[in-house]
Structure 1
Amino acid sequence: MNKMIALMLAASASALLAAAPAYAQDASYKSLTDKATADYKQAKVACDAHSGNAKKVCVEEAKVARAKAESDAVAQYRNTPRELGKARKDVANAEYDMAKAKCGDRTGTDKTTCMNDAKAAKTAALADANTGARAGTNVAQNPPATMKENCDAMDATAKAACMTRNAASSTKVAVEDSVITTKIKADLVKDNDLKALDVHVETVNGVVMLSGFVPSQAQVKKAADLARGVEGVTDVKNGLKVK
C-alpha cells in the first residue's frame, strides 16, 4: 500500500511540474495583455485633450498601440500559426482605421489617394497574415531544412547526439528571430529620423516584415536599410506606406 501511495504521489508531482511552465506562460501572457488594455485606457483618456478629427486620430493610434502590444504577447506566449495570424489581422485592421482617420482632414484627390494607400496597406498586411497562418510561423515547429542533420544512418550514441544538435538548432532559430526583432526596434529608436514613427516589426525565419505609416519615401527606404543591416536578417518585406 505504501508503495502504491508513493507512486501516486510521484505521478501527481510530475503532473504539477509539467503544468508549471504552461501556467507561468499563461500568467505572463495575461500580464502583457492586461498592461496593453490599461495603457490603451490611459492613452484614450489623454486623447480628450484633443477635439475633432485630431481626437479621432489619437484614439485610433491608441488602438494600434494596443493591437501591437497584444500581438507581441501572442508572439511570445501563444506562438501558433492560428493565433499569430489573428493577431496580425487585428493589427492590420487597427492600422487601417488609424490611416483612414488620418485621411479625414484631407480633401479631393489628396484624400482619395490617402484612402487608396491605406486600403492597399491593409490588403498587403492581411495577405501577409493569411500567408503566415497557412504556412505556419512557429519557427520551432518549422525549422529550415538546412538546419537539420540526417541522423538516421548513425549508431545509437551518435544518433542521440545528432538529434540533440538538431533540437538545439531549432531552438536557436526561434531565439534568433526574437533577437533580430528586438535589435531592429532598438535601432529604430536610436535613429533620429525613425524613432518617433509607428513602425511595426516582425521576424519569421530571419525574414523581417515592416508595416505601418511614415511621412516620406526616404524613411521607408531608411527603415528597410536599417533592418537589412542587422545580423541574421535574410530578407526584408517592406510594407511601410507614406502617409
Structure 2
Amino acid sequence: MKQVNWRKYGFEFLSIFIAVIAAFALNNWNDNQRNATIENKILVEIANGLEKDIEDINVNVKGHEDGIEACKYWRQVITGQEVNTDSVMIHYLGLTRDFISIQNVSGYEALKSKGLELLKNDALRFEVISLYEYDYQTLKKFEEEYQEMQFQDNYFMAINNILAPNFTFDEKGNIIGMRTPFDLSDSEQKIVLSYLWKIQVNRRFIMYFYAETAKKVNSLKEHVEEELVRAGN
C-alpha cells in the first residue's frame, strides 16, 4: 500500500488557501479603492453644486428684497407721500415678481445612483440627505407651489387695475412715469395697502427660510471639503 504524503498535500492546500485569500483581499482592496475614488468625485461634484446653490439663493433673496422695497414704495404712493417717479418701472416690475428655486442636484443624484451607503461618513451622509430631500424640496414648494407665495397670480391683476390708470406712457407705449397723487377711494386704498402688507410679510417669511437653508448649505460645503481633505484631495 502506497503511503500518502500528507505533508506535500498539506503544503499544496495551504498554498491554494493563501492564494485564494490573497486574491479575495486584493479584490476587496480594489473595490474599496474604486469606491473611494467614486466617492471623492461625487463629493467634489456636490461641493461645486453647493457653491452654485449659494449663488442662486443670493439671487432670489435679492429679488425678494427688491419686492419688499417695491411694497414700501407703493405704500408711499398710495398714501399720498412724495416719491421718486423715475424709479416707477423698477418698483412696478419688482412688486409681484415670482422666482423659481434652482438646485444643482447632479452630485446628489449621482450619489443616489451609486447607493447612499457609498458615503462612509454617517454624519455627513445624514446632512446631505437632509439638505437635498427636505430643505431644498421645501424651498422649491414654497417658491413654486405654495399658493400663498404666488404673488403674480394672486395680486398683479387687482393691483394693476388701480396703478395702471395713473401711469404715463411715451409714443411707443412704454411706461415713463405716473401722475400723483393717486385719486383713490378709501376702499381702494385699503385694499391695495392690504395686498402690499401681505406681499411684504410673505416675502420676509421666504427670506427667513432662505437664510436658514443658506446656513445649512454653507455648513455642508465646509464638511464636504473637510472630508475631501481627509481623503487626500
More strand by share: 1
More helix by share: 2
- Structure of larger gyration radius: 2
Relative contact order: is structure 1 or structure 2 higher (C-alpha 8 Å, sep ≥ 6)? 2
TM over 0.5: no
